A and B are shown apart, each in its own frame.
Chain A
Amino acid sequence: MLLCGCSSEAREVGPTVPQTAPIGEQDPRIAYYQDNFGQVAQGGRYFLYYGCAGCHGDGAQGARDLTDGRWKRGGGFAAVFTSIAHGHGDRAYATRIPVEPLWQLTAYARDLQRHMPEKRRRQALDQQAEPRGAAWWGPQ
């Protein structure tokens, strides 16, 4: 449990190594993103910035509801990653979003079912003034 505590709290700020998409569900890099509070939270921020919350926010129905634990194209990390990057038709996130934010978005999307709705709303309140969707022009 203690070791677990270490890695989930680890926080690295600064340039990271170049990333590629996950290679299968056993990719060793998955745990680094999925089990880390900081990476998941960063994914949550991109979730807002890239406009994901527009369709997948609170009250989304059916396949768009990411909090029910049911996944149309599989709930593994690589599967969710692929459906974010390549499963949104002409939105073409694979080309619009750099690879590391995609990892973070994937980790956040898979983590969402563990988030209480009131906590998501509370975080959204703090982030209300932040740019999102079309108003966001990428990292400055």
Chain B
Amino acid sequence: MRPEQTRLDRLSLTWRDPPGLWGFLTTVDHKRIAARYIVTALLLMFLAGMLALDMRWQLSTPENVRMGPQLYNESFSLHGSTMLFLVSVPVMEAMAFWLVPLMLGQRNMAFPRLGAFSYWLYLGGVLTLWISHALDITPDLGWFEYPPLSGPAYAPGHRADIWAQMITFTEVAALAASVNVAATILKMRPPGMTLARMPVFLWAMLVASIMTILSMPAIMLVTSMLIADRLVSTHFFSPAGGGDVLLFQHLFWFFGHPEVYIIFVPATGFVSAIVETFSRRPLFGHSVIVLAILSIGALAFGLWVHHMFAVGLPRLGNNFYTAASMAIALPAGLQIFCWIATIWSGRPWLATPMLWVIGFVTTFVIGGLSGVMTASAALDLQLTDSYFIVAHFHYVLVGGAMFPLFGAFCYWYPKATGRMMSERWGRIAFALIVGGFNLGFFPMHLLGLLGMPRRVYTYPAGMGWERLNQVATLGSVIAVAGGLVFVANALVCYWRGAPSGPDPWGGSTLEWAGEAPAPSWNLAYTPMVDSLTPMWNGAAPLRVADGVAIERREVLITSVTDADPLYRQKSASPSIWPLLSALAVSVMFIASIFTPWAIVVGAVPIGAALTGWFWPQRPRRNRG
């Protein structure tokens, strides 16, 4: 039903941000925060992509002198650290920030100010790494910096500290975001959306958030231990002093492997949403996909040692991790069969989001198969640290997570902007990116089998690697050109695109119920849900309920399993305190690279900022 204009005006007044710069700095609107996250991550993806292109240029001929070894080390370290820590994980959280409240028909996240804090802290991590790069203090030891190479004896200066502290930034930001997403999904579902009626996308984001909460502390711990070793000469990673260098690898990969799935699981959420809408039938095997996601979430914590097969761990341990690594192909395969069955039995519509899903399935299956190969400890001993590994993880990360992300971008773009992206240019970008990617990365499998190690800045002529490297460079150039077409399409259509209307694709879930672009308050009424596809209820209008205040910021809290309405909760208003708190934390993090006293002294401004943040606002605060 169409709400009256007075109600909409009242909602806009209640949920608006202050105008101008102050509004920019204080906003707690989940869509504005998510858009910032996404734009920052895409900009970094472009910069790190340029680094990749530069490295491909360097490797396109033997004995090339475009880069020396130091610049090459810095380039791949910056590329990997940026893509893993500053692009892939944050951009998935950003999609959750943007979509979860819309898909729940809620007005904001559970902790609006925590969302703002998360972004500002993430930005602090971005600036830490890239300003250091501008000052030529680029980390140069790869995206995982193993001691003793990164220890005090072999990594003089502050390059390794910059890397370790950048991780602390992004992990605190990721923890803040994940807690927020998990609480929102569990406690703010609309009436009727029981756990059994929760769309796969929300399941995926819930599982990814819980995985983040469980795995990120390991990496924060390990990078803090590394900084302690370097700054105050502790002995965590010094075998001669009673420490253990393998401890670093175990803790790093205890985070590092789940991280791959923290990136991949949200992508399965995108794919499920797109496949359902564009096959125009409810998802085949909803419960199977959800159970597969849950089992991936559990299995992902039992795989980390397959990154360490060459370390020399006990054979029996290697066998166990080989089995576990192969086992994860089962739930991943189940999901893929469910998506194929949905497409097969539906009426597929091959618009660009759906094309990206097809690109995802084909590319990801190749990456999955090379994953089963490398999961074998015996074979991995031959393949590890070769270009085969480079090919494998680009196939799973780009094919398995970035292609669904691009599809999701095209799918939800009309909801964010109220305009359609060009289908023609979308297809051109798709063909260039998927074609260029496969042309660029498939030869790397062969290069790895021919013995080319990863992380070499050049190679002598006559190894038989020249032609394949040139093909790889050509493919990368084509893929980057496709990326530019994609971005240009998005930018041009932001102003010139055809108006989309609220629901251009005939979507199945609640985010399509409201206006496009989504207003600051999302939906005018609280929706009532009675199926997995609440927007596909024949021609009947969406059932809604009133009762949540419109004259003040308020959200509805429901029970965890049955989504029964419990109470109405005040939702935080715009505030400068998240930014100030993030600034105080940033100062402490940066200063603690140079002196341990920064942690003691730096805690004071953080405490002051948090006190301001949590200062009681309720009317009876002075009377008890």
- Residues of A bordering B, CB below 8 Å: 2, 5-6, 8-14, 37-38, 40-41, 116, 118-119, 121-129
Contacts and interface: CB of A to CB of B under 8 A. Distances in A.
Given A122-B152, A122-B229, A128-B240, A9 B158 contact: yes
Contact of A9 (B135, B151, B232, B233): B135
Contacts of A2: 135
A2 B148 CA distance: 28
Interface in B176-225: none
Nearest to A2: B135
B235 A125 contact: yes
A126 B148 contact: yes
Contacts of B154: 126
Contacts of A10: 136
Interface of B: 68-70, 135-137, 140, 148, 151-154, 156-159, 229, 232-235, 238, 240-241
A123 B156 CA distance: 10
Nearest to A42: B156
Contact of B153 (A6, A11, A127): A127
Nearest to B229: A122
Contacts of B238: 122, 125-126
Contacts, number: 66
B152 A123 contact: yes
16 contacts: A6-B135, A9-B157, A11-B157, A14-B68, A37-B158, A40-B156, A119-B233, A122-B229, A122-B234, A122-B238, A123-B153, A124-B153, A125-B235, A125-B240, A126-B148, A126-B153
A64 B68 CA distance: 39
Given A11-B140, A122-B235, A128-B240, A41 B135 contact: no
- The 8 nearest A-B residue pairs measured at CB: A41-B156, A37-B157, A126-B153, A122-B233, A123-B153, A37-B156, A125-B240, A128-B240
Given A5-B135, A121-B233, A125-B241, 11 more contacts: A9-B135, A9-B137, A11-B157, A13-B68, A38-B156, A122-B152, A123-B153, A125-B235, A126-B153, A126-B240, A129-B240
A8 B233 contact: no
Nearest to B242: A125
Q: Which of A40, A126, A129 neighbours the largest number of chain B CB atoms within 10 Å of its CB?
A: A126
Contacts of A12: 68, 70
B282 to A, nearest CB: 57
Contacts of A38: 156-157
A6 to B, nearest CB: 5
Nearest to A12: B70
B247 to A, nearest CB: 15
Nearest to B68: A14
Contacts of B70: 11-14
Nearest to A124: B153
Contacts of B240: 125-126, 128-129
Contact of B157 (A8, A123, A124): A8
Contacts of B159: 9, 11
A40 B152 CA distance: 13
Which of A8, A11, A118: most chain B CB closer than 10 A?
A11
Contacts of B135: 2, 5-6, 9
Nearest to A119: B233
Nearest to B231: A119
B199 to A, nearest CB: 49
A79 B234 CA distance: 35
B156 A6 contact: no
B179 to A, nearest CB: 35
A62 B153 CA distance: 27
A128 B242 CA distance: 13
Nearest to A48: B153
Contacts of B234: 122
Contacts of A119: 152, 233
| Candidate in B158, B229, B235, B240 with the most chain A CB atoms within 10 angstroms | B240
Contacts of A14: 68-70
A116 B68 contact: no
Contacts of B229: 122
Contacts of B157: 8-9, 11, 37-38, 41
Nearest to A37: B157
Contacts of B136: 6, 9-10
A129 to B, nearest CB: 8
A95 B619 CA distance: 83
B233 A5 contact: no
